[in-house]
Structure 1
Amino acid sequence: MHSSISFPILEHFHVHEYGLYPGKPDRPGLQLTFRPGLTLVVGTNGLGKTTMATMLFRMLSGPHDLSHQTLNATELGGQSLDEIALPARQKAMFADRVSDRAATAHAELQFRLGESRVVVKRAIKNLSLMGLWVDGKLVGNKEGDYQQHVVTCAGLSSFGDWLMFLRQLVFYFEDRRSLVWDASAQRQVFRMLFLPPTAARDLYTKEREILKLDSGIRNTNAALGRLEARVDEEERKRTDSQDVLSQVRSLQPLQERDLEKQAQLVSEVNDIDEFRRGLRRQLLEAEDRASRLQEQLEDGRLQIIHSQFPSKSETAKYLLSLLMLDGKCAVCSEESPGFSATIESRAEHSMCVLCGSPAHVEGPETAAPKFESLAETRDALERARVRAAELQSELRAVSESYDNRSSYMLKLSDEVSARDKLLTSLIKSLPTDDEMQLQAKKELIGLRHSVDQDRARLEKLTKEFEATAQNFDRSVFQRVEQIKRAFNRYAKDFLFEDVALKWTPQVRQVGQLQTIETSTFDLDMGGTDFGVSHRREGPSAVSESQREFIDLAFRMALIEIAGEGKGGSLVIDAPESSLDAVFVERAAEVLCRFGQPSSTNRLLITSNLIDGRLLPDLIRLGVPPAEKRDRLLNLMDVAVPTAAVKAVGDKYRKEWENILIQGLGQ
């Protein structure tokens, strides 16, 4: 039976020069002296209650922790319990909260561990170890020395176990695992508490070895399956290779011919497209020239009419100009060369273009263009229109040729692409050379042999582990009744319902290939409409208040039984968050029973200043009036005030005074 486990017994905590806790003139910084029993720290949101509790944890853990994967794994035992260094950002978690980055801030924690009194001093800015004293003697400032000392004095097998020990038993934080309903966490905690360090390390190492071998076998099996499929596929390819080779030989010449044709078509289409773009530019230029000549011709005609009929309205002049438009009748739009010649002759001889009478013009206001000039413009316009029509016709022919060739090129490209995919598939299906296939078969034989060897080794390791696990179960079983009685004492006063732990055998899977028989605690509880106690399979099967205090009662029972009267420390952050009103007095009584002044336990509770009976009852039951200076700390006295404290600090202080009066009767 393992009887050398020791819990840390907190004695004194002092935070120096940290901006969040300036302290008082006669008592600088934050100081806590832990007497046997209860120490109560109160405050308001933002004053640093959780920061203080977390700092205590980091004084004991240093700049190391278990990995995120371990802490959040479904199976706690399935992950490595090796400690890892914290990332730089987490090391600076306290520096981030103050403006000077905790440049000179440091903290000291004194605690007993087994027969030793330990003092650890750390820089708050990065958690580095500044000094380690054991029984008054300076040991040094190396983290390895600290880790080795606490592991040895606590009776644990590794520093990873120490971190798990702190997280699962000493500090009751929100991210803890529910031990009552977490079989894997129970196994790890019981391994640390009830096995000697060598046996605890052996049990953990064997399980890790099995899990590693199990994972290796599964990975090798996967590789083996892939290689078998590849070898089988190669054999199938060899059977079908002649037909495939014949297809490849018939398709490759077609593909080469069409690829040449495709390249030629691409070149031709590009040339035609370039020629087509040139024709479009020329057509636009020809149409633009015809449009400008048309405007020039119409403008000249208007000037002639204006010079011959200056007194006519602009509308009349415009109508007269229409009679001379392009040799067409202004009414029916039919070609009438004779009429057009007559109109132009009358205009040329200053006669009315409609009736042929003399125009009786005294003299033109402006010089009108000559009819010879208009004739030249008309001829130029006709040539421009002819050129535009020829370009339009040529462009249509070229565009048609471009469209035909593009369509054919797309069709040919589709054929080439489809044939290329077929050829790729066919060539891929051809077998590799004989040497490669022989090498693959040799590798296949080697992998099969390796899997067979690993399976045999896994069977052997599993049997050894099962025997070790059965010895472990027997070690725990010797404490089962003690744990159940201690749990019942705490739980029955927390809860109204009947509640009991049951030591239950179960088949446990180790990895994915092996199973063993083992036992853990389950919970039976009365209530609801069952009439009798029944199994509560998980945390969701009870209320939040019940869940919190069932888990707390289990931890208290483990500290009591595993510590064998030497005591332990329990740090609880903000228990009021899950309390129903009916639980308050019961909770205070049970907490103070664990942390009564006559005990060897240390119970640190942090809480907001809240209404109700919790704080007065905790003070009444756990704080002798003569010891209130050491046992009670109001963070409003030592922490930088928040905006709320600055605004309504008097109300907070009056509330605290009322709590003290109710609790101490003073």
Structure 2
Amino acid sequence: MEEIREDAYVDVEFILGNDNYKVKHSLYDNSLISFELNDQLISGKIINYSSYEKKYFVQKADQTKAYLIYKYHDCLKKSSGFPDINALIIMMTNVMFFTEERKFIFWDEYLTKNIISKYFMDPQQYLLYEKAQQLVKKCDSNLRLKTYEMSFIKKYLGGVPTATSVPRESKYSLEDLNEAKRRVENYEKEISFYEKELARIEAEKIENRIQYENINRQISEVEKIWYKSIFPDQYQSSFNRYVPIILDNKCPFCGNQHDFHIKVDRCFFCNSELAVKKDINLNELEIKRKNLEIGRQKIEATFRTLNSEYLKKKQAYTDVKKLNNEAQSKFIEIKDEFSARDNAEYDKWKKLELEKEELTVELENAIENERKMACEMDIHISVIFNEYARVFTKYASSFFGENNVVKLELVGNKEERLFKFVLNGKSRKSFFDLSESQRIFVDLSFRLSLLEFFHNNSYFICETPDSTLDILFEDNAVKTFDNYIRTQNMLFLSANARNSNLINKLLNIYSVSHQNYNIVNLIELSSLAVANKEAFDSLEIYKFFK
């Protein structure tokens, strides 16, 4: 926008799966204004994305279902076939876009596994496998902790405890132990209560601040309309500059708190009378402004109440925590002395040995289950992988050329990585094993082959890598992109205002065969470029505009 406009928006129409979408987004406050699914208008509460994300992460899912953004995401999820909207977002941002950032996903273990779980196998099956892996780690951790605990006790006692028939005296009774335990349990209930209350108040404070920002914006909008209607532009521009801080009752010059009493016909700074347009009816605006101001005062009062309540409960929470620590110490003291009677150390040691045996069996079962699932996953992936690797090789070979042998291998569960790229018989374990041009097009081959193999009529957006492309690879790079286009896909290339051999050669292919291509000349939208138009006359791409 050349100047900020509140009514600025963008319309987007697209097809996802078998569904047609018409979506309108605000360019002013980044909100979803409306969307149609198969020509049916979907209704819902409108909110900007920032506010929605705050609600999405602090509230339960059921509390966000009324919002239009939630309904939009839910429809996208169903149309795409992905298990959740976040999976779709990851796919679009990490596969379909190759930006100036040059983020390589082929060597990114987390992203690769995430993509494989969405494409090469049933997502639920992969989720179960991940849970099996997590269970192995959990069991292993529990066994290590138990072993450490036994080692500590053994060191403390000077050896493995043995059974003894000699009882030990204790100054505490069983009633003392039970009472100390009850006291700890009561304090922990109080701590849990205060933690929930503090979380609730914090969430209400966040919502209150959102409401406060919204009503401030509404007041500012009313003020702008008001003063723009009745005062000369010179005064209006000055008022607009200082109105945000004035609305917060602060001096716009020194920043100190100040209670402004603004009158319509008086200057907010010097209080002198202004040349007000007498024929303007301000009653409606005045009523709206006062109602909004009253609303803001109520919101502020609510925030002060919430803040006061938060501080009181925070102090109470701190006090209970302190009392609980003291009670815990006393309980441990009584428990340690009370349990020292008879064969307490020996009995405890035997119990630990039994627990360790159970944890060992649990770990062995978890490892066996994880291995079984890993083998099943390797078999399932390998069925699809062989066909997929053929498509990947097509793209990689078109870039590296006929004199080089490229291969994609399935590593499976043997290493952290699931795929391995092999060039002329040598495994390239990281992108450091390749030149800059090679690593870019290995990654692009991975992306393009995913889109071609698993989708029909897909599209790919790429920041043209010609500035880092070796001249030896230019023709091969053109072949790589041409392969993608010829399989009924759409390619978007962006480039700076410079001669690009890659783009020119690609355009030549389609201009000679009279096939469709479009060029968006963004230079025409740049005031700087228009003023220096002669600087672009030498661009070879200009011949394709004719």
With normalisation by structure 2, the TM-score equals 0.55
Contact 1:132–1:139 (8 Å) recurs in 2: yes
Q: Do 1:585 and 1:614's aligned partners in 2 also have CA atoms closer than 8 Å?
A: yes
Q: Deviations over 1:289-338 (max 9, x none)?
A: xxxxxxxxxxxxxxxxxxxxxxxxxxxxxxxxxxxxxxxxxxxxxxxxxx
**Hey, what does 1:110 align to over in structure 2?**
13
| Distance in 2, Cα, partners of 1:145 & 1:545 | 42
Alignment of 1:253-272 (within 5 A): none
What is the match of residue 606 of structure 1?
A: 494
SS in 1 for 2:538: helix
| Matching residue of 1:492 | 397
Q: 1:548, CA displacement in angstroms?
A: 0.6
- TM-superposition CA deviations, 1:455-512 (whole Å, max 9, x none): 54454444444444433333332233322322232222222342322424454478xx
Name the structure 2 match of 1:633: 520
- Say if 1:108 and 1:119, in contact at 8 Å, map to a contact too: yes
Letter in 2 for 1:203: Y
- Secondary structure of 2:418's aligned partner: strand
Query: Which residue matches 1:555?
Result: 447
After superposition, the C-alpha distances for 1:222-262 in whole angstroms (9 at most, x for unaligned) are 6545644553454249x9xxxxxxxxxxxxxxxxxxxxxxx
Pick 1 or 2: higher relative contact order, CA cutoff 8 A, min separation 6: 1
User: Matched residues in 1 for 2:426 and 2:155: separation?
Assistant: 57
**1:593 corresponds to which of 470, 483, 489:** 483
- Are residues 610 and 507 of structure 1, via their aligned partners in 2, closer, same or farther at CA, if it must alter by over 3 Å? same
State the Cα RMSD in Å: 3.9
Letter in 1 for 2:518: R
Counterpart AA for 1:547: R
User: How many angstroms does 1:607 deviate by?
Assistant: 0.9
CA 1:520–1:219: 2 relative to 1, 3 Å:
closer
Whole-angstrom distance in 1 between the partners of 2:29 and 2:358: 48
Q: Does 2:98 correspond to 1:172?
A: yes
CA contact (8 A) 1:172 1:571 kept: yes
Q: Which runs of 5+ in 1 are unaligned?
A: 1-18, 23-98, 240-429, 511-518, 527-532
After TM superposition, the structure 1 = structure 2 runs for residues 343-362 of structure 1, keeping only pairs within 5 Å, are none
Larger radius of gyration: 1
* Aligned positions of 1:288-327 closer than 5 A: none
Identical positions, percent: 17
Distance in structure 1 (CA, Å) of the matches to 2:514 and 2:408: 43
In the alignment, which of 488, 501, 508 is matched to residue 407 of structure 2?
501
Q: Which residue of 2 aligns with 1:231?
A: 153
User: C-alpha displacement at 1:210, in angstroms?
Assistant: 3.1
Contact 2:132 2:369 in 1 (8 A): no
Aligned counterparts, 1:478-489, within 5 A:
478-489=383-394
CA contact (8 A) 1:588 1:621 kept: no
Secondary structure (helix, strand or coil) at the match of 1:632 reads coil
Q: Which amino acid aligns with 1:554?
A: F
Between the aligned partners of 2:351 and 2:512, the Cα distance in structure 1 is 75
Of Structure 1 and Structure 2, which has the larger fraction of its residues in strand?
A: 1
Determine the structure 2 residue equivalent to 1:399: none
Q: Which residue of 2 aligns with 1:578?
A: 468
Residue aligning to 1:138:
41
How far, CA to CA, are the matches of 2:468 and 2:356 in structure 1? 52
CA contact (8 A) 1:488 1:499 kept: no
Q: State how many pairs are aligned.
A: 349
Amino acid at match of 1:202: Q
Distance 1:225 1:479, change over 3 A: closer
Q: Residues 217 and 520 from structure 1, CA distance in 2 versus in 1: closer, same or farther, beyond 3 angstroms?
A: closer
Q: 1:554: Cα distance to partner?
A: 2.1
2:74 is equivalent to residue 153 of structure 1? no
TM-fit CA distance, 1:449 = 6.0
Within 2, Cα distance between the matches of 1:593 and 1:501? 18
**TM-superposed deviation, 1:453:** 4.9
Q: Aligned to 2:454, what secondary structure does the other structure show?
A: helix
CA drift at 1:558: 1.8
Q: 1:543 is matched with which residue?
A: 435
Q: Distance in 2 between matches of 1:504 and 1:625?
A: 39
For residues 149 and 589 of structure 1, the distance between their equivalents in structure 2, rounded to whole angstroms, comes to 37
Equivalent-residue separation in structure 2 for 1:443 and 1:623 (angstroms): 84
Distance in 2 between residues matched to 1:446 and 1:610, nearest whole Å: 76
Query: 1:624 Cα deviation (Å)?
Result: 8.3
Q: Distance in 2 between matches of 1:194 and 1:569?
A: 20
What is the rounded CA distance, in whole Å, between the counterparts of 2:346 and 2:466 in structure 1? Answer: 68
Q: Does 1:650 align with 2:534?
A: yes
**Contact 1:203/1:469 (CA < 8 Å) preserved in 2?**
no
Separation of aligned partners in 2, 1:521 and 1:235: 52
* Superposition TM-score, scaled by structure 1 size: 0.46
Query: Partners of 2:150 and 2:383 in 1: how far apart?
Result: 52
Query: 1:569 — aligned with what?
Result: 459
User: Hey, what's the Cα distance between the residues in 1 that align with 2:24 and 2:352?
Assistant: 54
Contact 2:474 2:501 in 1 (8 A): yes
Matched residue, 1:659: 541
Contact (CA 8 Å) 2:459, 2:491: kept in 1 or not?
yes
